[in-house]
Amino acid sequence: MRLSRRDTLRVFGATAAGALLGRSGAGASLEPLLRAIPSSGERIPVVGLGTWSTFDVGSSAAERQPLEEVLTRFAERGGRVVDSSPMYGRSEAVVGEIAAKRGITAKLFLATKVWTRGRAAGIEQMETSERLLGTKRLDLLQVHNLLDVDTHLATLRAWKEKSRVRYIGVTHYNESAYPEVERVLLREKLDFLQVNYSLAERGAEKRILPLARDRGVAVLVNRPFGGGEALRRVLSRPLPPWAAELDCTSWAQFFLKWILAHPAVTCAIPATNKRAHLDDDLDAALGRLPDEKLRRRMIEAF
Which CATH number goes with the domain that contains 291? 3.20.20.100
Per-residue confidence (pLDDT) for residue 2, from 0 to 100: 38
Per-residue confidence (pLDDT) for residue 35, from 0 to 100: 98
For residue 111, what are the β-bridge partners? 83, 140
For residue 167, what are the β-bridge partners? 140
- Flag whether 251 is in a domain: no
HSE-CB at 275 with a 13 A cutoff on CA atoms is 13
Distances (CA, A) of 165 to 14, 20, 105, 178: 43, 41, 16, 26
Apex 256 CA angle, 255 and 258, nearest 5: 70
| pLDDT at 24 exceeding the cut of 80 | no
Determine what percent of the chain is predicted with pLDDT higher than 90.
Answer: 87
15-22 average pLDDT score: 36
Helices (H), 25-118: 61-76, 91-102
* Domain tally, the chain: 1
- Flag whether 15 is in a domain: no
Distances (CA, A) of 8 to 4, 12, 13, 148, 237: 6, 6, 7, 42, 8
Confidence of residue 125 (pLDDT cuts 50, 70, 90): very high
Closest to 221 measured CA to CA, from 200, 235, 247: 200
49-68 average pLDDT score: 97
**Mean pLDDT of all residues belonging to the chain:** 91
Domain enclosing residue 39, as ranges: 35-232+259-301
Quote the DSSP letter at residue 287. Answer: S
d(CA 232, CA 262): 23
Per-residue confidence (pLDDT) for residue 235, from 0 to 100: 85
- Flag whether 6 is in a domain: no
- Flag whether 221 is in a domain: yes
- Flag whether 22 is in a domain: no
Which helix or strand (DSSP H or E) is residue 301 part of?
helix 292-301
- Flag whether 295 is in a domain: yes
pLDDT digits (tens, 9 = 90+) for 167-193: 999 999 999 999 999 999 999 999 999
122-151 average pLDDT score: 98
pTM for the model stands at 0.90
CA torsion, points 37, 45, 257, 141, in degrees to nearest 10?
Answer: -60
Show the 3-state SS of 103-141: CCHHHCEEEEEECCCCHHHHHHHHHHHHHHHCCCCEEEE
120-141 average pLDDT score: 98
Per-residue confidence (pLDDT) for residue 21, from 0 to 100: 36
Contact yes or no for 62/25 (Cβ under 8 A): no
- Flag whether 242 is in a domain: no
Per-residue confidence (pLDDT) for residue 31, from 0 to 100: 84
- Flag whether 111 is in a domain: yes
